[in-house]
A and B are shown apart, each in its own frame.
Chain A
Amino acid sequence: MAAAAHPSKAPPWFGPAFALPPAIAALLFALLLPTVSGGTAHEWTLAWAPELGVELAFRVDGLSLLFALLVTGIGAATMLYAGVYMKEHPRIGRFFLYLTLFMISMLGLVLADDAIALFVFWELTTITSFLLIGFTHDDPTSRRNALQALLVTGGGGLVLLAGLLLLGMEAGTLRLSQMDGAAVQASALGTAMAVLVIIGCFTKSAQFPFHFWLPNAMSAPTPVSAYLHSATMVKAGVYLMARFAPVFGDMAVWVWSLTVAGALTAVIGALWALRQTDLKQMLAWTTVMALGTLTLLLAGSESVSIAAAMTFLVVHALYKATLFLVVGILDHDAGTRDRRQLSGLLKAMPLTAAAAMLAAGSMAGFPPFLGFIGKELTYEGALALTALPWLSAVGLVLASACMVAVAGMIALGPFLGRERRSVAEHPHDPPFGMLIGPILLAAMGLAFGLAPALISGSIVQPAVVAVMGGPAEVKLVLWHGVNVPLMLGLLTFAIGIGLYVFRHRAIAAVDAVVTRLPTTGDAVYDRSLTGLKWLAAAQTAVLQCGRPRVYLAATVAVVAVAVLATLVVGGGLRWPAGNPTPDLLGVAAVVVAAAGTVLVVLTPSRLAAIGGLGMVGTAIAVLFLMHGAVDVATTQFLVETLVVVLLAVAMLRLPPLTRLPPRPRGTAVRDGLIAGAAGLMVTCVLLAVLAEPFDRRVTDFFEAASWPEAYGRNIVNVILVDFRALDTFGEIAVVAVAGLGAYALLRNDRVVPKAPADSLILRTALRGLAALLLVFALFMLLRGHNEPGGGFIAGLIAATAFALVTLGHGVDKARRAVGATPRAVALGGLALALAAGLAGLFSGGAPFEGLWMFLGGDPAAGDKGTPLSTVLLFDIGVFLVVVGSVLAIVFALEEEA
């Protein structure tokens, strides 16, 4: 690949290759001109989200076609130009990718007929223009400006989405071409919709007070500015205002917003343009002026205003693209864009000068350029406005006069006068690729001016018809006769030429005015961004204070209040009917548990608290036992024993409960309320559950299937190791993780050899007891499938045996007694359980389905014999996991301490 040898040089075919597709597209769009100007609209629809009524619908009418031609035509010229302009840039490939993506998005935007599709393309142009504006991303200013454009236009896009969705609901369709203006304006939400859409358009098209982002966006490479700010990105808002003129056009809020913002934007843009020394900034501000003019004209309801807007759109696209490209050439080949350092380049760059002067002639509105026709129409259109016609016309005269002076500064200043060679050694015309675009576009400005019939009937009139939503007669001619617009035009020339001649004084005067008025929102933008960051930090500080107790209190309080409120509102406060009468033992157990709870809460002594926990656990175990849960009760008793062992090892090394002061009164009340609410919630929910009729279907299935299908008489154990073995596997994995995690937390400590308990009786007794316990554990493990027992219980018994050995004889002896590290035991058990589970899978069944074989059966007597099964292997795995995990913790605590 050539790029490897010359990493920063793009091949010469790059620009032409990327210019070809838009050029072809422009040609194809041009072929549609005859039918579209004949009144046909081409439609193409693809179902996208039919349940939501969203379609990927495209529609080519006069307005869309005008924009599509600008997007593709100027796109082709820009691509060709950029191929030369950017050829030294190391990221040129990425540049063309972004630019092409942007062009496709823009094309989708102007062709979309579905509101959602339109919004998606709208946001795509925002995102791709963000990438283009921030293309030189190693420059912090560039990044900041790109972000600003993204936030302003992206935020406006969201507002637009709200407007479009409301519009879709009220109009009953998302198809723009089928929306009924009368129905929308009659709706109660009409004003809201109009305002939302207007905000979206104003942010995108840089209308006052959102205009500040556009000049900042000039940190993009010049071809990007030429493309985005002449024909595309910023015109998207203008396009949408034109598109929605038939829907909102008669509403006062629409007319007044567009008139006032448009006029203000035009004047502010023109004044700011005058004061710039950087030619690119100057052009950026003239773009603001042009956008203001377009917005102002779109407020009109007469066809002459709309015709003026559409004509001026073409005028502006042609001259603005040319001038941006010319400024790029000056920057590229004469070394600077500062108008104070450029002069006398006519001889060195004759073709560039020719393009610049042709475009500037159109910009200033001299005859016979298209700009002249555009300006005449503009004044005529402004005078036909519904709101403030004369004030608007005066504003436009002022703005246009500034344009005359600016055109002089751009097209005359750099080329006339004495040649200076201070910046570039040998300024010269650029290669063909960079010249062809500007020259062609500038020439079109002249050609269309000389022969307005070329675009009058085929391009402008269909667009006006589309905007008016009805027939309109448009005829562009160079000579209108002596009338008010002509007089205004002459006045414009007089003021403009005066401004150019006395430009130094004029600029000083403008500076004095402009800097005292709040004419740019840049500072407001910065302040609101700072404010937003402050707000984010402040609310994070409140919500994420870093104190777990506050999180816990908030979480529990919210859950408790929400659940209790739901119970109260939904009528869930119920009392179970026909509940079994409490018997004496049950009441006693409940009382003991309650007393233990109170003891744990109130006591300042650690030992008493441990005792209280023991009371609670044991009493609950008794309650389980009373109600037929033998396995559960056994497990609970064993766990209580182990907890006492662990606490005995660890607890006394923790600080006493009295070290910290009791919580302050306010906190105590708050915590008490939260705790009380949580308790009340649990009681009420449980009572509500008990008041419902009970559904025993699952239980009935287990009872009926336990013996015939799983060959087990202990239904609880059968559920654990067979019916729900996958769940059990997950649960023993959790146990293993907890055990090994605790081990990892503690094992890195220095091991201090600890004297075992110094009691001969204990040691002697323990040895026998431990052996007895291990035998008992084995017994419980093997019988578990048919009678109370099983892997969990057996594992806990065995672990207790080893824990007792640890207490009496020290960790070393216990380790030797186990014969393997607890980790190995736990992980081995996990592996065994998994293997037993997978065996069922590989022999064609479901995972964790048991495999069975029978020994010594007697079919005649109906006795199948002694069943052997992978289920037993699984239970052994459970056993090993429990033993290993518990011992890991016991050993670690004992060794570490």
Chain B
Amino acid sequence: MDVLLALLAGLLTAAAVWLLLDRSLVRVLFGLALLGNAANLVIFSAGRLTAGAPPIVPVGAEAPLETVANALPQALILTAIVISFGLFAFALALVHRAHKDLGTADIDALHDAEPSPHADPHHSTPETGR
């Protein structure tokens, strides 16, 4: 099972990188979402898999009676999920704003909006005001 999860994590990472390298900022957003999932999966698998058995101390006992799932990676992932959601939402707002103000969600066009000193001076600069 863990080998399968390792393969899935690799697939998710590859897809995420592919999407992050796309010109379309919308696809970059998708890549960001997949990358978060891949990272969580890696942390979870690295903490070893235990079928069933959530890490809860039964009432009346001082400690879990049998082998339960590793609680540590779960605690890490739980916050990571919420944070990657926050990051995704922030990136979504950013892309949205850029699209609205600059009229494009093309990452290369954004590059032209802030020309580097080496850029072609004849390149037209998209209007940045509202």
Contact = CB atoms under 8 A, between A and B. Distances in A.
A and B are partners in one complex rather than unrelated chains: yes
Interface in B62-93: 62-64, 68-72, 74-75, 77-79, 81-83, 85-90, 92-93
Interface in A541-579: 541, 544-549, 552-553, 556, 575-576, 579
Given A628-B68, A639-B85, A682 B9 contact: yes
A628 B54 contact: yes
Nearest to A617: B37
A630 B53 CA distance: 9
Contacts of B79: 720, 727-728, 731, 792
Nearest to B101: A749
A100 interface: no
A737 B99 CA distance: 22
Given A613-B33, A707-B63, A882-B82, A715 B56 contact: yes
A579 B3 contact: yes
Interface in B48-62: 48-59, 61-62
Given A580-B1, A587-B4, A734 B86 contact: yes
Contacts of A654: 25-26, 95-96, 99, 105
Contacts of B10: 679-683, 686
Q: Is the interface of A mostly helix, strand, loop or mixed?
A: helix
Nearest to A694: B48
A786 B41 CA distance: 25
B20 A735 contact: no
A600 B19 contact: yes
Which of B13, B97, B100 has the most CB atoms of chain A within a 10 A radius of its CB? B13
A583 B105 contact: no
Contacts of B59: 713
Contacts of B107: 547-549
A586 interface: yes
Interface residues on B, range: 35 or more
B11 A594 contact: yes
Given A703-B68, A788-B54, A660 B106 contact: yes
A704 B61 CA distance: 10
B34 A616 contact: yes
Contacts of A690: 2-3, 6, 45-46, 48
Given A620-B41, A654-B96, A631 B74 contact: yes
B26 A651 contact: yes
Contact of B81 (A639, A674, A696, A699): A639
A738 B89 contact: yes
A679 B12 CA distance: 7
A679 B14 contact: yes
Given A623-B5, A716-B55, A741-B90, A699 B72 contact: yes
Contacts of A708: 62
Interface stretch (A19-27, A109-117, A142-150, A885-893): A885-893
Nearest to A747: B93
Contacts of B6: 682-683, 686-687, 690
A600 B86 contact: no
Contacts of B62: 704, 707-708
A741 to B, nearest CB: 5
A703 B54 CA distance: 12
A750 to B, nearest CB: 9
Contacts of B90: 738-739, 741-742, 745, 889
A598 B33 CA distance: 14
Nearest to A888: B89
Contact of A620 (B23, B40, B95): B40
A716 B5 contact: no
A136 interface: no
Interface stretch (A161-169, A357-365, A523-531, A642-650): A642-650
A265 interface: no
A537 to B, nearest CB: 8
Given A546-B119, A739-B89, A628 B69 contact: yes
B17 A678 contact: yes
Contacts of B58: 713
A360 B82 CA distance: 85
A378 interface: no
A547 B108 CA distance: 7
Contacts of A540: 118
Given A594-B8, A646-B89, A635 B81 contact: yes
A660 B23 contact: yes
Given A549-B107, A686-B9, A686-B42, A632 B81 contact: yes
B86 A682 contact: no
B51 A885 contact: no
B49 A746 contact: no
Given A556-B17, A579-B3, 7 more contacts: A581-B1, A597-B11, A623-B44, A713-B57, A742-B92, A882-B82, A889-B93
7 contacts: A579-B1, A647-B92, A671-B18, A696-B70, A715-B55, A720-B79, A893-B93
Interface of B: 1-15, 17-27, 30, 33-34, 37-38, 40-42, 44-59, 61-64, 68-72, 74-75, 77-79, 81-83, 85-90, 92-97, 99-100, 104-108, 111, 114-116, 118-119
